[in-house]
Structure 1
Amino acid sequence: MEFFRSGGARSSASSRRRWPDALKGQIVAETLEPGATVRGVAERYGLRANRLSEWRRLAKDGKLVLPADEQSGDEAMFAPLVVCDAEAPTPEAEGSAAGRDVRIAVGDVVIELDADTPAKRIAELVRAIGARA
């Protein structure tokens, strides 16, 4: 039963399991599914949550490849988010930036904010959405 739960991870003589990178990527991708939690996925595979978080960091750094979504063919990945308050627009740039809103889309959730929304508020919303996903 352990072999099936571990998805094929091999145990060494020192009783440490060795997880193939492809399996690590699949497990990390499961944490990105709507409603999934790191703790829940880790428990399903008999892992510690901090080990799975370490693998997620590797994926974020591009050191662990995540599998493609079977339905869409899209590769799962982490996207960097950079948040900063914009400086006051110059008169030349004011016309080009006017009317631009901030749009945050995660799965089916789409939030549209005014362009003058403070970066701190945007970061709070992104964290809240990320905690849900």
Structure 2
Amino acid sequence: MFAKSSFLTALGVEVFASGQRRWPDHVKAQAVAETLELGVTVSGVAARYEIMPSQLTAWRRLAKDGKLVLPAVETDEPVFAPLIVRDETTTAPEPERPRAEAPVRVVRGSVIIELAQDAPAARIAEIVHALEAHPC
């Protein structure tokens, strides 16, 4: 048990003498993220973290409801978000005017987030991921 407890304390979990534990949100998020990997089971991850599968399922529900933000997926390949193109309804086209660098705009329902054009793709992906986890 010491080996597993040292694994948990290294992650930042407070383990009390009574056996009770206090789980930081980033550790909960890490455990949930592990369950989303291909071929990984909730039971397997729960055993690794010494918790009941039902507890891990509750954390997964928190993430689904947007109350627990998961870490961004690290990948060597580009990450793309869906793009929706729609026609603007205008009466007449406006004359072209020189414009400054347009910001990157992320729209989810009534939420609009504008980022600088040089915002890293990983940051944009994190924001899109967080917005998807929290329905508008």
What's the TM-score once normalised by structure 1's chain length? 0.52
- Count of residue pairs the alignment pairs up: 80
Q: 2:51 aligns with which of 44, 47, 51?
A: 47
Q: 2:4 aligns with which of 2, 6, 10?
A: 2
- Answer whether contact 1:5 1:44 (CA < 8 A) is retained: no
Matched AA of 1:24: K
| RMSD after superposition | 2.4
Identity of aligned residues (%): 52
Task: Give the Cα–Cα distance (whole angstroms) in 2 for the partners of residues 12 and 65 of structure 1.
Answer: 26
What per-residue deviation string (whole Å, max 9, x for no partner) do you get for residues 10-33 of structure 1?
123543111110110011000000
Task: Give the Cα–Cα distance (whole angstroms) in 1 for the partners of residues 40 and 4 of structure 2.
Answer: 22
- Answer whether contact 1:59 1:65 (CA < 8 A) is retained: yes
- Answer whether contact 1:27 1:41 (CA < 8 A) is retained: yes
Match of 1:92 in 2: none
Task: Give the Cα–Cα distance (whole angstroms) in 1 for the partners of residues 18 and 34 of structure 2.
Answer: 28
Match of 2:91 in 1: none
The 5 A counterparts of 1:53-64 are: 53-64=57-68
Matched AA of 1:67: P
- Is 1:70 aligned to 2:91, yes or no? no
- Is 1:27 aligned to 2:31, yes or no? yes
The 5 A counterparts of 1:97-108 are: none
Where structure 2 has 5 or more consecutive residues not aligned to the other structure, the ranges are 80-121
Q: 2:16 aligns with which of 6, 12, 20?
A: 12
Task: Give the Cα–Cα distance (whole angstroms) in 2 for the partners of residues 11 and 45 of structure 1.
Answer: 12
